[in-house]
Amino acid sequence: LGLAGVAIVAVALGFLVSMSALLLEEMSFRLYPRWGQAARLAIAAARFNELVTRKLLEGALAALAAHGVAVEDVDVVWVPGAFELPLVARRLAGSRTYDAVICLGCVIRGETVHFEHVAGQAAAGIREAGQTTGVPVTFGVLTTETLGQALDRAGGKHGNKGWDAATAAIEMSSLLEQLPKEAEP
């Protein structure tokens, strides 16, 4: 290699190193360092459409177990319907007992004329529970036209929304822990 060759190799190496550093920095937010045995989780599940929500719960617990969470330590709280999820999610998140709260429910349009109210209020209230407490509260509430569509998303051909809500809780808790804390007003 001539001098020019050495210079080109050095520049290329430098580029590779800085790119991988960038990549690592981005990826570090995707690691779950504190997760596993020490994680404290609560799940609020709606009994309405229990055939579906039990499958969502199974999916959520399986996801937590896959990430090393001791599922016997996960607190599961049942509420009558999706409309009741926000209040209980707010209580659980506000207790400072949990690293994250997972909400599970199933609202089926065909079964109710007040679908929009139940589904909309559940979504808005669950978002608010997370925002007001600063504790991740995730949305594992199915809103579908039919029971078949719900079952497809509760361990059927479209996956399991309970699993997704649990992994979102893990990611969000880990992410918030690593981000700078909010300054005092």
The residues binding ligand INI (CB under 6 A) are 46, 48-49, 80-84, 105-108, 111-112, 118
**Least distance from C-beta 142 to ligand INI, angstroms?**
9
d(CA 131, CA 142): 21
Contact 78, 90 (CB under 8 A): no
φ/ψ of 130, rounded to 5, equals: -70, -45
**Least distance from C-beta 41 to ligand INI, angstroms?**
21
Residue pointed to by tokens 């590779």: 16
**Residue facing ligand INI at closest CB distance:** 81
Between 111 and 145, name the residue whose CB sits nearer to ligand INI.
111
**Least distance from C-beta 74 to ligand INI, angstroms?**
21
Residue type, 127: R
With the C-alpha atoms ordered 175, 178, 184, 185, is the resulting torsion angle positive or negative?
A: negative
Between 74 and 104, name the residue whose CB sits nearer to ligand INI.
104
d(CA 6, CA 18): 18
Between 39 and 79, name the residue whose CB sits nearer to ligand INI.
79
76 beta partners = 43
Which residues have a catalytic role annotated? 114
Between 46 and 93, name the residue whose CB sits nearer to ligand INI.
46
What does the angle CA 180 – CA 163 – CA 71 come to, to the nearest 5 degrees? 85
Taking alpha carbons only, the member of 130, 70, 79 closest to residue 104 is 79
**Least distance from C-beta 148 to ligand INI, angstroms?**
14
